[in-house]
């Protein structure tokens, strides 16, 4: 799965989830005090590419991950 939050304009948070053949995948993110905070849940048997603005992408295996990156 690909996770690539694109904050901008008046959008300061978003979340979504999907029931995959491997289980539930989900992403939520918000901007608080200039920090983009994201929580990514990757189901067992799946991997994800996480692209946060301004940093190199990361590839992650199944699990729950929290990311934080200054924006703006």
For the question of whether the overall pTM of this predicted structure is more than 0.85, the answer is: yes
- pLDDT, tens only, 4-57: 998 888 899 999 999 999 999 999 999 999 999 999 999 999 999 999 988 999
User: Which H or E run contains 31?
Assistant: strand 23-32
| Terminal Cα distance for the chain, rounded | 26
pLDDT of 72 higher than 80: no
For residue 35, give every residue at least 6 positions away whose Cβ sits within 8 Å of its Cβ, in sequence order, or none: 68, 69, 70, 71
């Amino acid at each position: 799965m690909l996770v690539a939050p694109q904050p901008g304009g008046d959008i300061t948070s978003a979340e979504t989830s999907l029931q995959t053949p491997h289980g539930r995948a989900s992403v939520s993110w918000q901007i608080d005090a200039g920090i983009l905070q994201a929580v990514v849940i990757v189901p067992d048997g799946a991997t994800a590419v996480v692209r946060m603005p301004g940093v190199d992408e990361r590839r992650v295996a199944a699990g729950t991950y929290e990311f934080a990156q200054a924006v703006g």
